[in-house]
Amino acid sequence: MATIITIIFGIKYWYIVVGVFVLIITLMIIGSVRRKKRRAAYLAQPVVMYGVATSKTYHRKDCRTLANVSKDHMVFFRESDNPERAGYRPCGTCKPPRTFQ
């Protein structure tokens, strides 16, 4: 086996190449698992504010103006998000809190 790899690839120390390859694959898998855990923790947070992408406003959950908004234009803000940092302004009807945590 070692001579076949040496003949094909011209690599004398093929076991180093294999070890580096295994290390890279392992690190990619660990990173993927960490990203999935972070994403799951983010999605576990409750939706606190609803934004409208067309008017750039954010609303409380029970705001009456949300009844007229298409679901395609809805944006959801969770506890860790800040709608004002994203460029949204508070609704004038329901007057949501300016900062929330």
Domain boundaries, the chain: 2-43, 46-90
- The amino acid sitting at 4 is I
Contact criterion met (CB below 8 Å) for 83 and 60 = no
Decide: helix, strand or coil at residue 75: strand
pLDDT given for residue 64 in this prediction:
92
Asked if residues 52 and 69 have their Cβ atoms less than 8 Å apart, the reply is yes
Residue bearing the bigger pLDDT, 82 or 42: 82
- What confidence score (pLDDT) does residue 39 get? 80
- Condensed to tens digits (0 to 9), the pLDDT of residues 29-72 reads 888 888 888 888 767 777 788 899 999 999 988 899 998 899 89
> Which H or E run contains 59?
strand 57-59
* 50 closest CA partner among 18, 7, 2, 86: 86
Contact yes or no for 100/60 (Cβ under 8 A) = no
